[in-house]
Amino acid sequence: MFLITPLKKLLSSIFLIFWDVSLNIGNLLTPKRRAGFVIPKGHPGFEGKWPEFIPPQDGDSRCSCPALNAMANHGILPRDGKNISFKELNKKVRETYNFGPSFCYFVPNFAADMLKRSYSKGTFNLKDLDLHNGIEHDASLTRQDVYFQPDQGKPDIPLVKELLASATGKDKDGNVLLTSEDLAKVSGKRRAAARDSNPEFTLATEHKMFGSSNSSTLLTIFGGRVKDLEPILLEERIPDGWEPRIRERLGLTILAFNKTVLGVETRTKEDTPASVAPTTNPESNAGGVAT
Ligand code: HEM
């Protein structure tokens, strides 16, 4: 009886690995989507046309994830950020960002488990995802720690600006790019600064990995392009003409994504002197442009 849940979890992990590996093989064997046509016809964002951006209104629910907030700000998820089903989250994230179906199944399932809700029947409000030390954690790159910024639903503008200003890369078209080394440097500084200043600081290995996973989306899905990341991270707005930089036919798999994540996490050294000063007065910036 007691073995049913662990056994079910083990079987679903094995299934997920096989599924993800098959998607990887599928990606190797099929041509990439054509640039300019990553979003399929009939879906928001087809040909770079995103539904109208409306910043959150009073009473709307927003969270610590810029990508999900942006979806709500464009009406791809409910604009009020409420009563979203985990299944809807799976489908919409896949269509919007071209993450692979294995990732889009895994993360909403993880979130449902974290919130002790049913994946197949349950719903959530975006704010529910801010459960501290669930997925949300200290030393994030776009939010102050919850100790300093209890409302995690808005970006911390100075932190985001510092992140974007750290970009050292450039592509052949002259676009300024964030690199894996840049992210590792900023993360290392952020972790040291948060550890120094936050009396309630915690960052378990699992949360370091979540941190590097979240920030690795900036390199993969957003291709590191600072010009695109400015509206995404500062306003939680998807710019006109944008499309996911992942063009693999079956989307970004967990396996492929983890190569980037491990690259960021293994380069992150926390011993860099703290220079990202925390904002002790959240009112000074937390309003940002997303209110
Ligand atoms: C699939 C469902 C998803 C869930 C449940 C989720 C949840 C979260 C949560 C709770 C955080 C806060 C972590 C922290 O404290 O730093 C976060 C941050 C973040 N997520 Fe998501 N997310 C999802 C999908 C995505 C996708 C598809 C992208 C990119 C296309 C993305 C990009 C980010 C970024 C850039 C951050 C900010 C990291 C930071 O501030 O350090 N997320 N996400």
The C-alpha angle with vertex 102 and arms to 98 and 107, in degrees rounded to 5, equals 90
d(Cα 231, Cα 190) in Å, to the nearest integer?
22
Cα of 109 to ligand 1 centre, how many Å? 14
Which residue ranges make up each domain of the chain?
Answer: 62-284
- Residue with the bigger pLDDT between 224 and 8: it is 224
pLDDT exceeds 70 at position 288:
no
pLDDT exceeds 80 at position 284:
no
Q: What is the pLDDT of residue 280?
A: 44
Regarding the beta carbon of 64 and ligand 1, being less than 6 Å apart is answered yes
pLDDT exceeds 70 at position 274:
no
Regarding the beta carbon of 252 and ligand 1, being less than 6 Å apart is answered no
pLDDT exceeds 80 at position 25:
yes
| From 68, 186, 191, mutation site for ligand 1 pocket: most ligand atoms within 8 A of C-beta | 68
Residue in the structure block whose two tokens are 């007065």:
281
Average pLDDT across the chain, whole number? 93
What is the pLDDT averaged over residues 184-197?
97
d(Cα 252, Cα 72) in Å, to the nearest integer?
22
Regarding the beta carbon of 65 and ligand 1, being less than 6 Å apart is answered yes
CA dihedral sign, ordered 97, 103, 109, 115: negative
For 24, 127, 156, 189, 205, the CA distances from 262, given in Å and listed in that order, are 18, 28, 26, 18, 13
pLDDT exceeds 80 at position 114:
yes
- Residue with the bigger pLDDT between 87 and 291: it is 87
DSSP 130: G
**Element containing residue 145 per DSSP (H, E):** none
Say which CATH superfamily domain 62-284 falls into.
Chloroperoxidase-like (1.10.489.10)
What is the pLDDT averaged over residues 43-69?
98
Q: What is the pLDDT of residues 234-272, one digit of tens each?
A: 999 999 999 999 999 999 999 999 999 999 999 999 864
Looking at ligand 1, which atom is closest to the CA of residue 110? Answer: 5
Across 123-142, b (16+ Cβ under 10 Å) vs e yields bbbbbbbbebebbbbbbbbb
